[in-house]
Amino acid sequence: MHATMSSGAERGMTLIEIMIALTILAVVVLGMGQFAFNFSRTERQSEARTIATNLADQRLSLIRSNPNYSQIDSLYGVAEATITGFPGYARTTKIVHTGGPLPTYTTDYKTITVTVTSPALKTPLVETVVVASP
């Protein structure tokens, strides 16, 4: 008895099939790598934005809780090039006074704008509130 191979029924993969499979695998792996990179970058930017928001809110809460309305400008209208515990972050507080005391003026309020910057932020974070005279 003599064993013969049937024509065209060979088992295994050809070199072309292996190359196609490797190409598909490479595209999938590169796509997942790109996704991981973008996800990581977005996560870092989100964390930086959260920190910046907290720093701005902290400054605004401090200003709003100050009982001495007349000293707000001199106490808080400053630029902080560094913030302790937050390297790379800077915070600027701008205070614009509108009007004056009654009875001469009918309006007396201050517009407070806090800007927080960091190399990790694409754009500076800006928060604004209005504080009226008591």
The whole-model pTM stands at 0.71
Q: Give the three-class secondary structure for 54.
A: helix
- CA distances for 112 relative to 2, 5, 58, 60, 106, angstroms: 97, 88, 13, 8, 20
Give the domain ranges of the chain.
Answer: 15-132
**How many Cβ atoms from other residues are within 10 Å of residue 30's Cβ?**
10
Per residue in 66-88, pLDDT (tens digit) is 888 888 988 999 999 999 999 99
Q: Give the three-class secondary structure for 64.
A: helix
Name the pLDDT band for 132 (thresholds 50, 70, 90). Answer: confident
